Structure 1
Amino acid sequence: MPVVRIRRRAAAAAPEPDWDFEVRPRKAVRTARIVAVVLLILFVIAGTGMRNAFTGVNFRLIDQIAMIAIGVLAALTTLLLTRPRVRVGPSGVTVRNVLGDSRFGWEHVRGVSFPDRKAWARLELAHDEYVPMLAVRANDGQHAVDALDRIRELGAKYTAA
């Protein structure tokens, strides 16, 4: 009997706007991936070696599985730090930080800045509000500077139109 695959269409979802620019952090993503792998390896080693330890405690198979599961959860939680992204396009700016997305139209955006002694840039909004942009990080150096310049350039282009 042949296998039939059904494709679901997202009819209710709004179409994605075209983006002129997208930026993600570089060093933070690389570091998070390395830390996630190290955590996973350490917890797998600890979990598999629990029965061989002579600590006087009787570890069972479920304890080993739980230890490995904790390592998987720790690694996945660390990988949340790879999510930040900023997209810029004709409809506005979308900022995705660790847990959520926020979309702002150009009528609400006043600019971008990099405050002194801060680790990341921020999107300046109307009414003296701001949103941190974890995707534009100070430790990325020239990459962050180029990203802010490009965001400012596109902001000037779309607010003038």
Structure 2
Amino acid sequence: MTEETLVIRPRRAAWMSGVLAVFLVVVFAVVGILLRNSKTGAIFQLSDQIAMIGVGILLAGATLLFAMPRVRADAEGIEVRNVLLTRRFAWGDVLSVTFPDGASWARLELPDDEYYSVMAVQAVDRQRAVEAVRALRRLHQQAWT
């Protein structure tokens, strides 16, 4: 029997963070290039221009972190990678998969009134998020039966 592995990634957040990253690099590059020609009385050097472009690249890289969330779920459990951290839960440790009204993303309900956010399943993805939560609930239910 082949084991089904469900992989979920945010769509709109990834697209928006990519657009914003390109925008930041372009804006900071333009500002860096035009920095020497400003008539503010301050003296800007080549190093200042390079630093300005470097700041744009760093901000773009930080923005792209929001395209990183991912969920991998199978019959044994669920692996959740949010912006920086990855954590794996066995289905036996998960009480339910929920998406509360008004929430930005889904969450796993854990014992002792704890929750773990699932940033890969985002409200802005609308129907795709609904399908993802249903698929995660099916895997969770299969593990409990």
Normalising to structure 1: TM-score of the pair?
Answer: 0.85
Q: Distance in 2 between matches of 1:125 and 1:20?
A: 21
Q: Distance in 2 between matches of 1:21 and 1:66?
A: 42
Unmatched runs of 5 consecutive residues or more in structure 1: 1-17
Q: Distance in 1 between matches of 2:35 and 2:93?
A: 56
Matches within 5 A, 1:96-115: 96-115=81-100
Normalising to structure 2: TM-score of the pair?
Answer: 0.94
Equivalent AA in structure 2 for residue 61 of structure 1: L
Structure 1 stretches of 4+ with a deviation exceeding 2 A read none
Matches within 5 A, 1:3-18: none
Q: Secondary structure at the match of 2:10?
A: coil
C-alpha RMSD of matched pairs (Å): 1.1
Candidates 25, 49, 57, aligned match of 2:34:
49
Q: Distance in 2 between matches of 1:72 and 1:97?
A: 22
Is 1:37 equivalent to 2:26 in the alignment? no
Cα shift at 1:90 = 2.4
Cross-structure match for 1:127: 112
Q: Secondary structure at the match of 1:144?
A: helix
Q: How many residues align?
A: 143
Q: Secondary structure at the match of 1:127?
A: coil
Cα shift at 1:57 = 1.1
Larger radius of gyration: 1
Q: Distance in 1 between matches of 2:58 and 2:52?
A: 10
Is 1:86 equivalent to 2:63 in the alignment? no
Cross-structure match for 2:127: 142
Unmatched runs of 5 consecutive residues or more in structure 2: none
Residue identity (%): 45
Q: Distance in 2 between matches of 1:133 and 1:66?
A: 36
Cα shift at 1:159 = 2.1
Q: Distance in 1 between matches of 2:125 and 2:92?
A: 29
Q: Distance in 1 between matches of 2:4 and 2:22?
A: 32
Cα shift at 1:155 = 1.0
**Relative contact order (C-alpha < 8 Å, sep 6+): which is higher?**
2
Q: Distance in 2 between matches of 1:91 and 1:68?
A: 46
